[in-house]
Amino acid sequence: MSHTFSYHFRYDDNAFETETSVKQIDVEDSIGRIYAKFVDPRTAADGGVIDDSRHRLLRSKHEQFVRDALHGLSSGFAVLDASQPWLSFWSLNSLDIMNCEIDLPLRQRAFDTVKRFQDSDGGYCGGYKQLPHMAGTYASIMALVLVGGDEAFQTIDREAMYRWLMTMKQPDGSFAMHTDGEVDVRGVYCAMVIASLLNIMTPELIAGSAEFVAQCQTCEGGIGPFPGVEAHGGYTLCGLAALEILGKTELLNLGRLARWMCARQLAFEGGFNGRTNKLVDGCYSYWVGGAFPILQKALERLPSDDYLYERVALQRYVLACCQEGRMGGLRDKPGKSADLYHTMYGLLGLSLSQHYMGVDPEAQIRDTTSIYSVPARMMQWDSVPVMSNVLGAQSNMLKPVHPVYGVSLVPLAKCVKYFYSLPSLAASLS
C-alpha cells in the first residue's frame, strides 16, 4: 500500500506567527523527517510516495516495556500514587490488546493489588486508604475485567458500589468524581460503564444523565466537560459512549458532532488533536478515533460506508511516529517519552483503526427499557472482518476492542455473563 506524502498539507500561519503556530510547525518538521524516511526518492517532489509496507508494530519491545513497569517503577512515579488502579489497567490492557500472555501469577498480583483499593462504603480509591474516586473505580473495575474469574468478580461489593454511585449523583443527572469533587462528563461515563457491567443500573441512577451529556455539546459540535465549556476529545468519547450505553445518542446534534470530530484529524500528521488549534497527540487515537465507531452506529451508516476518518493515516502516525524504537512503549509524539498511558491508548486507537467495529443494522436491538437490553445492546458490537484494514505487515494486527469499554471482547463478555446471572437491582430502566 502506498500513499502520497505532500508538504502541501502543512500548516499555513498566513504570515502571522504565534507561539501556537511555531509549536505546530516544529511538530510537523519532526514528523516530516520521519515520513520522509519511508518515501521512494524517485517520487520525492514536495513529499513523495510512502512505502507503507515497511511499517512494523514493535510488539516485543512494547511487551517488555509494560512488563518492566509491572516489576516496579522508580521513585519518580510517586506522583501517580493516587493513580495506582490506572497503572494496573493500562498495563494489563496493553498486554491483552497485543495478545500477550497474562499468566496466572500476574493476574493474581493485579487482583491482590486492586482489591485493596475497595472502600467499605463503596467505590475504589486511587491508592490504599485514599478517598474513593470515580476514575479510580472505573480503572479498578476494568482491571478486574481483564483479570477475570469468579474470585475477582465476587470481591466487588455491588450493593455498596450502588450506594456510593448514588451519593455521587447530582440533581442535574451528572456525577461528582469524588465526595465534594468536580462534576463533569467523565463522571457520567465512569458511572454508566461501572453500572452497566455490574448489573446495577436503575431508573434512579440514570435519571437525567443523558440530558446532562447532551447539554455539554458545544456550538463547535464536540462535547465539553460541562455545559458552556470548550469541546474536548476525551470528554467527547466519554459523553458519546455514555449515551450509547443509555441508548440515547440521538439527543446530540450528530451532524455537528461529526464535523467537529473529522476536523480533529490533522492532514499532514494523520493523527488527531483533542481540541481546536492544538497539537497532535497519540492518546487521541482512542479519545477521538475510538468515538468514530459509535458515531457510525448513531448515524446508521453501513460498514461499506466506512468510518468518517482516514484509518490508514492514523495507523501511519501511530506506527511511524508514536513508537519508541529503543526501549519500547508508545508516546504522544516524536520527541516525547513513552509511558503506560500513551501505550494503552495508542494501541486502542491502532486496533480500532485496523478493525471495523459495528452492529448489524438488521439485528440491532433498540429497546432501552429492559435491564437486559443494556448488555444485549453492548454485546452486539463485533468486528466486521471484510472491512479490516491493517497497515504494513499482517503481524501488526491487534485484537479487536469494544469502542465503548476500551477492552477486548472476550473478557468483557465473561464479565457481563457473570454479573447478569445475578439479581438486578431494578425491574426495568423505565
Residues identified as active-site = 232, 275, 278, 281, 283-284, 332, 339, 342
Is residue 132 within 8 Å of 125, Cβ to Cβ? yes
Strands 357-358 vs 47-51: parallel, antiparallel or unpaired: unpaired
Phi, psi of 417 (to 5 degrees): -60, -40
Q: How far apart are CA 392 and CA 56, in angstroms?
A: 6
Nearest CA to 61 out of 248, 270, 325 is that of: 325
Nearest CA to 323 out of 346, 303, 352 is that of: 346
Q: Which residue has the cell 498539507?
A: 9
C-alpha triplet 182, 185, 187: angle, nearest 5°: 60
Q: How far apart are CA 424 and CA 1, in angstroms?
A: 50
Q: How far apart are CA 303 and CA 283, in angstroms?
A: 25
C-alpha triplet 375, 346, 231: angle, nearest 5°: 75
DSSP reduced 3-state for 266: coil
User: CB within 8 A of 42, min separation 6: which ones?
Assistant: none
Residue 396: Cβ within 10 Å count: 18
String of DSSP letters for 231-264: --HHHHHHHHHHHHHHT-GGGS-HHHHHHHHHHT
